[in-house]
Amino acid sequence: MLSQPRADALARELDVDLDVGICHACLSFVSFALDDGDPSEISRWIRRMTPDLWYDGLAEPALAAVRRACDRGVPDAEAALVDLARKGGRSSVARSIVRRLAEELSRRTRTEVQHLEALARKRPPPAAPGWN
């Protein structure tokens, strides 16, 4: 089994895309906890949501990404594959993948909000109402 820091390092090396087909609404529980910054809440939401995300579509692309990492000789990839085969969505590697994806969702959301705010500021002020 991989320690959480080693699993986190491996997850950063995997090519699992945020738009792989997992539920962003489910992942947002983790990203909101990350945004709030409370370590116990972050851990709680990661542990709570990872098995659901794993079985709802994350398993296949995550396993494929770990296999590709094994082929590239990424450190700890072989151990991660064993961990995922044994524990699936309850493994440290799966939790690390979910955390990384939630961090990415949080960054994307902040960027989109900033873009929308910038667009809203560019609009001209409303005209004074006219008399009919």
Residue 130 lies in a domain: no
Instruction: Count Cβ atoms within 10 A of the Cβ of residue 50 and give its class: 0-12 exposed, 13-18 middle, 19 or more buried.
Output: buried
Residue 77 and residue 66 in contact, taking contact as beta carbons nearer than 8 Å = yes
Q: How many CB atoms lie within 10 A of CB 110?
A: 12
Cα(79)–Cα(85) distance, rounded to whole angstroms?
10
Domain count across the chain: 1
Domain range enclosing 59: 4-111
Residue 15 and residue 68 in contact, taking contact as beta carbons nearer than 8 Å = yes
Cα(77)–Cα(16) distance, rounded to whole angstroms?
14
Residue 118 lies in a domain: no
Residue 94 lies in a domain: yes
Cα(92)–Cα(55) distance, rounded to whole angstroms?
15
81-100 confidence digits (pLDDT tens): 999 999 999 999 999 999 99
Residue 56 lies in a domain: yes
Residue 72 lies in a domain: yes
Query: Which pLDDT value is given to residue 129?
Result: 75
Cα(101)–Cα(87) distance, rounded to whole angstroms?
19
Residue 25 lies in a domain: yes
119-129 confidence digits (pLDDT tens): 777 777 777 77
pTM comes to: 0.85
Residue 67 lies in a domain: yes
Residue 92 lies in a domain: yes
